[in-house]
Structure 1
Amino acid sequence: MTSAHNDKALILLVEDDDAVRRLITCALELNNYRILCAKTGQAGIMEAVSNQPDLILLDLGLPDIDGLELIDRVRGWSSVPIIVISARVEDTDKIGALDAGADDYLTKPFSVDEMLARVRVALRRTKTALEGSESGGGDAIFSNGPLRLDYGAGIASVKGAELHLTPTEYRLLVLLAKNCGRVLTHAYITREIWGTSWEGDVASLRVYMAALRKKIERADEANQKLIQTHVGVGYRMVRIESED
C-alpha cells in the first residue's frame, strides 16, 4: 500500500507510447496518485511549468525532442525528481541521463512493482529534504534501517555498533546517505570525493566501496544490502522500509 503522505502526489508522465502510457497511468491511479500525461517533450515541459508536479516519469525517445533535452531544461529551474523509463539499455545512455540530472533509470520492459517502489523512494526523498529545510537546514541524524549517521559527531553505526571508517569511507557513506534512493554515477561520486573524474579514481572508488560494504555487512547480521551496485553506472543507497 502507498503511504499516506504520497496519496495525493502529482506525477507527470511524459510518454508517447499509448500502451505503456495506459499501463503506467493505471498502476499510478490504483495507488492513489494524481497523473498528468504528455505525449511530447514540449508538452511535457509546458505541463511541468504550469502544474509543478511532485515527480516526472520520462521516456527518452520522444517524437519531438530527446528526453535528455527535457531533463536539461527542467533542471534549469526545478529539482523535481525525474525517473527515466526507457528502452535504451546501454550504460552510456543511463550515465548520460543520470549526469544530465535524472534521479533514477528504469529500462523497458519493467516491473510495475519496481516502478512503484522507485516512485515511493523518490517522493520520500523529496519529503525528507523539505522537512529538513523547514526545520532549519536538515537533521543532524540520518537513519536508514540498521544504519545511523550522526553528522555532528562524525560517527556512523549499524545496530548501535560504531563503524570504524577511514575519512574517505565516511565521506562516501555520507554522500550516499544524503542522496538515499538516488543512483549516483561513478563520475559524480569521484568528483564529489576527490574533485576529479578519471579511470584511476573509479578503480579506487571500487576498492573503497568494497571495504565500506564489508564493514557494514559485518555489523548487520540481517545483511540488508544497503548499498546497491549498478554495474557500469554507479551506486545507490537503498532506502530500507521502516517496520512500523
Structure 2
Amino acid sequence: MENQNSKILIVDDEERIRRLLRMYLEREDYTIEEAENGEEALVKATSFDYDLILLDIMMPGMDGLEVCKQLREKKATPIIMLTAKGEETNRVQGFEVGTDDYIVKPFSPREVVLRVKALLRRSSPTKFLQTETSTKDVIVYPHLTIDNDAHRVTADGKDVSLTPKEYELLYFLAKAPDKVFDREQLLKEVWHYEFFGDLRTVDTHVKRLREKLNKVSSSAAKMIVTVWGVGYKFEVVSE
C-alpha cells in the first residue's frame, strides 16, 4: 500500500485533536507520532525524518509559526498548518515562514486525510516511478534540470532541497519561460488561494527559492527574474 511507509508527526496541545487525527490517519496506514508543544515538535522534526507534519499554529510557549520558521532553516519537510477560524493573518504568516498548506478548525477529518494525501503525492520523490514511460516530464535548461516525475531539482548537477511550495513555484515559472506573472496570478496558480492583496507570500518564497538555488548555482538563481512593478518571470541564462 502506498501509504505504508509514510510517517506523519501531529503537533497540537489538545490531546483530543491529536487523538482524532491519529485515528483517521492510522486508518489510511500512515505511521503516526505526536508532539504536544512546539519545543517537543522541533526536537522530533529535526532529529527524525517525517514525510509530513500537521502543525497547530496557536500553542503555548513556542507556537507553530516559530516551529516552522526554525525547521525551514534545516529541512524541507512538508507542513500543513492547523489554524482557528478568523486567523487570516496567521495563515499568511504561515505561508511566509514556509508552510505548504493550511486547514481551518473546526475541520472535517476526511478533509485532513485528503489534504495529507494530496501534499504527500506532490512531495513524494517516487510518486511516478512505478513504471517507466517514454514521456518523462523533465524540464532541462542550462544550469537547471527539473524532473517532475521524480520531483527532483538539480542545479549544475547538484541536488536542491525544496519545500513542496518552493518546488511548485519553480516548476510553474519554468514551464513558461519569459512569461511574466504578477503576484496575484502566482498566488492563484501555485497556492490556489485568494489572499486579497497579501502578496508577501510570493516574495518570501521567491527570495527563499533564489537563496537555495544560489547555494549551488548562481546561474540557476539568476533565472528567476523580478520584473519591477509587475511580478516575476523565468529567464533562461546560458552563463
TM range (shorter): 0.5 to 0.7
Q: Which residue of structure 2 aligns with residue 49 of structure 1?
A: 46
Match 1:16 to one of 1, 13, 16: 13
Q: Which residue of structure 1 aligns with residue 24 of structure 2?
A: 27
TM-score normalised to structure 2 length:
0.60
- SS of alignment partner, residue 180 of structure 2: helix
Q: Which residue of structure 2 aligns with residue 90 of structure 1?
A: 87
Are 2:37 and 2:62, in contact at CA under 8 Å, matched by a contact in 1? yes
For the structure 1 residues 129 and 183, does the alpha-carbon distance in structure 2 shift closer, same or farther, using more than 3 Å as the test?
A: farther
Are 2:78 and 2:100, in contact at CA under 8 Å, matched by a contact in 1? yes
Does structure 1 residue 187 correspond to structure 2 residue 183? Answer: no
Deviation, structure 1 residue 64: 1.9
Q: State the Cα deviation string for residues 164-185 of structure 1 (Å, max 9, x = none).
A: xx933599888977x5779996
Deviation, structure 1 residue 7: 2.7
Match 2:180 to one of 145, 160, 168: 168
Q: Which residue of structure 2 aligns with residue 138 of structure 1?
A: 147
How big is the alpha-carbon RMSD for the aligned residues of Structure 1 and Structure 2?
A: 4.2
Q: Which residue of structure 2 aligns with residue 5 of structure 1?
A: 2
The alignment of Structure 1 onto Structure 2 pairs a total of residues equal to 179
**Which stretch has the larger CA shift, 41-50 or 181-190?**
181-190
Instruction: Show structure 1 runs of 5+ residues with no match.
Output: 143-148, 156-165, 206-244
Q: State the Cα deviation string for residues 33-86 of structure 1 (Å, max 9, x = none).
A: 000100011110111122211100001122221111100110010010110112
Are 1:12 and 1:53, in contact at CA under 8 Å, matched by a contact in 2? yes
Residues 33-72 of structure 1: matches in 2 within 5 Å?
A: 33-72=30-69
Q: Which amino acid counterpart does residue 66 of structure 2 have in structure 1?
A: E
- SS of alignment partner, residue 85 of structure 1: strand
- 2: CA distance, partners of 1:186 / 1:92: 12
Aligned residues: percent identity?
Answer: 29
Are 2:95 and 2:201, in contact at CA under 8 Å, matched by a contact in 1? no
- SS of alignment partner, residue 33 of structure 2: strand
Deviation, structure 1 residue 19: 1.0
Deviation, structure 1 residue 8: 2.1
Deviation, structure 1 residue 152: 8.4
Q: Which residue of structure 2 aligns with residue 109 of structure 1?
A: 106
